[in-house]
Structure 1
Amino acid sequence: MDQDKFIFCLEGVRDVEITTATLVVKNLEQLALEQGIPSIYKSCDTIEGLVDSLSALLYHDHNFKDYEIIYLVMPGERNNICLNDYYYSFEEIAELFEGKMKGKIIHFSNAKVLDLSPEEAQYFLDITGATALSGYGEVSYKLPSFAIDKAFFSLCQEIDDVVEIVEELHQKHYALCKLLDFRLYY
């Protein structure tokens, strides 16, 4: 298997000064050990931290083209994310990422609901240049999405077409996809 598609994970935390390994970090380490999928992990507690982390990756990492998946683990509500008790709409996020996500899949964990109208999703994709936007229609703190995220990331290594990835994901993990309401906008 050609492992040339990396994961860049940004996790929203209460305070970036607290440096404990979160469950997300442990899961990404497990993914690297079990499946050999490389990732970079950063935490952020403000929108400025999110922008700075993405800018550092975009402008200073010469392997940015290899990071096909931007994995966002952030709380929020239907059409926004929440960092440090401030809510940012998908429109605001799209404008911050304007033109910077060409060829990327932006994937949200189930820490927030991803429930966009077709127009909202198309606006986000058009402004950012992203190939696809994915996430879940159900928030579940008792059942974090990493098991299905891991399967999704693995399929992204094997298959280039996002529709085929989702079809395969549903074939292999139908019950979990249905339970968490996996969604893909492209």
Structure 2
Amino acid sequence: MEKHLMAIPNRCTGCNRCVYACSAVKEGMFMPSKARIHVNNLSHEGYSVPSVCFQCPKASCMEACPTGAIFRSTRGVVVVDAKKCDGCGNCVAACPYGMIDQYASGKAYKCDLCGGAPACVAECHYGALVFKEPDKTSLNCRKDQMKQRSKLGEPEEKRRALAVEVLKGAERVPRSAGYMR
């Protein structure tokens, strides 16, 4: 069975270690704006919610790509072939979760699960990000998160809207010393 990258929002501390790890692995430098994972800090609520690419079974970004630059790999991961990407941006507009973006050159980029060992998961010491074979609980969590599709414009707006909706359904735990133990 294939593994899924999943976010557990009530465990996220907002430390952004996952974001830095992702950008370091993918860009060769700490450049959070180019990370493939994003953390939405909802300061008024006292929570942070990670946004991850769901590797959608019916990927809107892939369907919107006129050049075939976005395809599903043999591992089932939706990936971008930068050589084929013409920079049209159709994929960015099509993703209802805001998880695909473009470089200044116009070339698209998105999470590719780091070849099966996501750096973000390795760096998350609080268990807010997991990469595992799904069980009934995690499938329900993923399904609930995927229902929160957004038609807002920019990827950042879509991610924030998703985070707000995911937080509404998340179990909120008391924030006290040692709450992660």
Q: TM-score scaled by structure 1?
A: 0.31
- The structure where helix makes up a greater share of residues is 1
Q: Which has the higher contact order (CA 8 A, sep 6+)?
A: 2
Q: TM-score scaled by structure 2?
A: 0.32
- The structure where strand makes up a greater share of residues is 1
